[in-house]
Amino acid sequence: KTTTAAALLASLHRRGARVLGVDLDPQGSLGFSLGLDIERCLTVYEVFRGEVEPQQAIAHTDSGDILPSNILLSGAELEFNRPGREFLLKTALSKVEQNYDYIIIDTQPTRDSQILSNAIAAADYVLIPMQCDAFSEDSAFRTYSICSKLSKDPASRLKGIGVVLTMVDKGAATRETREECKSELGSALFEAEIPMALAVKSSVRKCVPVCYSARTQPVGRSYAALYKELKERLDKLEEN
């Protein structure tokens, strides 16, 4: 999930797009993987509390701008228990979105949370990375179903949903998962797939997106294909 967000952010930035990554995971993995000291940064938590403006918390990296997160965000479910809490991110981003061509939001793994609701409420498109196992498949299908219902709401800005298979290998379980996804999701399933690769862990340690650190390897080429396919889908949505 975070690897995919970082790779797409870096790919867009490298091609000249103005990009912002928003980390909504209390582990702060997106900012950390791009080299930020998340314990010393202002974060999305302070923005939600109204202590700072979004512009003040945005940090700059070689892969684009980042609105980071850290463990303080873990208390959001209880602390921000007030009307309109699901629109905290949407309100914050409205103050900076004119400065960017793309904003990529990285969420925590759970599908049922106020933080995830904030991400979906702010999003034009939801991309669901899905590992090839039964638990991830069930979670991805549920998230896809929730997003599909929201996209039909006239008040929602959500225009599209996609699912991409990750940690793909040549095993029977992967083949079964792929066929089930094709049957269940149809065109929402991306053709690009991300293979399992040790280079992913290495890229995190180096604080370099895998699309850079392993660009000549299968996983790097797969992320390039994912970027291209996602860009085409987003361009079609803009045309419509």
In the predicted structure, residue 32 carries a pLDDT above the cut 80:
yes
Q: What is the mean pLDDT of the chain?
A: 88
Instruction: Confirm if 24 and 70 have CB atoms less than 8 A apart.
Output: no
DSSP SS3 for 126:
strand
Q: Take residue 154 and report the two structure tokens written for it.
A: 């006239």
Instruction: Confirm if 36 and 68 have CB atoms less than 8 A apart.
Output: yes
What pLDDT is recorded for position 74? 85
Q: Cα separation of 202 and 184, whole Å? A: 34
In the predicted structure, residue 197 carries a pLDDT above the cut 90:
no
What pLDDT is recorded for position 152? 85
In the predicted structure, residue 213 carries a pLDDT above the cut 70:
no
What pLDDT is recorded for position 110? 67
* pLDDT, mean of residues 93-118: 88
Q: For the segment 72-100, what is each residue's pLDDT rounded down to a tens digit?
A: 888 877 777 777 788 999 999 999 999 99
For residue 147, with 0-12 CB atoms within 10 Å meaning exposed, 13-18 middle and 19 or more buried, which class applies? buried
Instruction: Confirm if 219 and 199 have CB atoms less than 8 A apart.
Output: yes
Helix axes of 2-14 and 198-206: crossing angle, nearest 10 degrees:
70
Q: Identify the weakest region by mean pLDDT among 40-44, 88-92, 204-208.
A: 204-208
Q: Take residue 182 and report the two structure tokens written for it.
A: 């094709």
Percent of the chain whose pLDDT exceeds 70: 92
Q: Which residues contact 205 (CB under 8 A, 6 or more apart)?
A: none
* pLDDT, mean of residues 139-149: 89
For residue 214, with 0-12 CB atoms within 10 Å meaning exposed, 13-18 middle and 19 or more buried, which class applies? buried
Of 24, 204, 21, give the one whose Cα is nearest residue 101: 21
| DSSP string over 154-189 | TT----EEEEEEESB-SSHHHHHHHHHHHHHHGGGB
